[in-house]
Structure 1
């Protein structure tokens, strides 16, 4: 004979007590993993309902404490403490959304205007967003961040197109200047690209909801991959991402760094 399945929330956690048709109580953790309980009291479900005390209530307290400890460890795996200080440069709805989303997942955000003179000393990651060439005017200077141990991530618009540069972690990764140079070298119209980079006007079309979601998803994926040190990190350090809302196309392009040209000495 099978018993009726029951699902009860575990207090002060995201876990649930699940008693399946086999009658065996398990805890479903927030991660989706099911854990079989070790010698639970028969009236554990009554303790969860607040109508039991003694051994069952004590077991429930110890169980809740252990689950909370696991959930705290999960939060640290999702975003390690030493990488939570994130500086956002730029303004607008996309930056506001990114700040809200990163904060919800544990980042400690400092939001600055693109003209801000100083990056916080404790910043582990700087993320910049620019609507036009004017908003990117400091990026060559900020390319010095990775050699100093600060990760550097750039997203920007070119007209209606949206691009996200490779993630720069150290001095061996592509800089903003190198990404532009690589794109010009691969283009059939390098002079036009250079002219656009220098003086293109701000786009007169607002980023639509679908485009904003795609860009935010890509940024979150890159940032969390960096925070966790996941295996995909190396690929993201050499990948330029591009969204063309007019056609709905999303593409990736390999961008490799190159040595800086040696300084010429006049004699």
Structure 2
């Protein structure tokens, strides 16, 4: 004999009690996993169905505490405590939205003026520049990995948006090296170099689709860093490029090259 399927939310959590045709109570966790419940089905259903005004059962209280404990562990897996301090350098809607989504997923985010000194407590610094002058300070900030701070850069060239490789170690490609590699690979190197050295350019705001794609890529890279995923090795040598005019999204390998000694960032 089969039972009537039921799905009831578990209070104070993102989980649900699910009773399928087999009549066995299981908890569907926020991760999508189903866990068999060792508790009386009828008592659980009655306690959940009675709502906030009903009498909570001891079994329901124990179950809620156990699920909350699992959710806390899951949150730490998504964003470990030692990597929660993120510093954003820049202004504008993209920076505002990045702050919002990172905070929603557990980061402690500080947004600073592009010319400000990053917090010494930051585990990751993300800089956004609207034009070439906004990138010129990056040569100094390229030294951040030398003190153990991850370093990520996103910038516009007119309507084109580029996200540099994620720098974790002093040996990773710097902003200077990425720029030099791009000039060398250009079919018009003199023009490419002139563009990189140009003054402020008047560019319109990023459209919604462009902003969504850039935000998704940034979040993907930052989460990979936070979780220390295996994909980090590839992200450390990958330049991401979005050309909204033709809807093109591409990736380009960028390798570091020997550089002259630099002074240590303090």
* TM-score, structure 2 as length reference: 0.94
Per-residue deviation, 1:39: 4.1
**Cα contact 1:160–1:203 (8 A) shared by 2:** no
Per-residue deviation, 1:254: 0.1
Q: What is the CA deviation profile of residues 42-100 of structure 1, one whole-angstrom value per residue up to 9, with x for unaligned ones?
A: 321001234875xx811110000000000000000000010000000010111011011
1 CA distance for matches of 2:199 and 2:143? Answer: 25
Q: Which deviates further from its counterpart, 248-257 or 187-196? A: 187-196
Q: Which residue of 2 aligns with 1:202?
A: 201
Q: Which residue of 2 aligns with 1:188?
A: 187
Q: Which residue of 1 aligns with 2:158?
A: 159
2 CA distance for matches of 1:203 and 1:67? Answer: 52
Q: Does 1:67 align with 2:67?
A: yes
SS class of match (2:65): helix
Matches within 5 A, 1:66-145: 66-116=66-116, 118-145=117-144
Q: Does 1:173 align with 2:207?
A: no
Q: Does 1:19 align with 2:19?
A: yes
2 CA distance for matches of 1:227 and 1:202? Answer: 34
RMSD: 1.5
Q: Which residue of 2 aligns with 1:8?
A: 8
Matches within 5 A, 1:211-226: 211-226=210-225
SS class of match (2:100): helix
2 CA distance for matches of 1:249 and 1:41? Answer: 54
Q: Which residue of 1 aligns with 2:28?
A: 28
Alignment: residue pair count: 260
SS class of match (2:57): helix
Q: Does 1:254 align with 2:253?
A: yes
Contiguous gaps of at least 5 residues in structure 1: none
**Cα contact 2:13–2:68 (8 A) shared by 1:** yes
2 CA distance for matches of 1:82 and 1:136? Answer: 28
1 CA distance for matches of 2:47 and 2:18? Answer: 14
* TM-score, structure 1 as length reference: 0.94
Q: Does 1:237 align with 2:236?
A: yes
2 CA distance for matches of 1:128 and 1:261? Answer: 24
Per-residue deviation, 1:202: 2.2
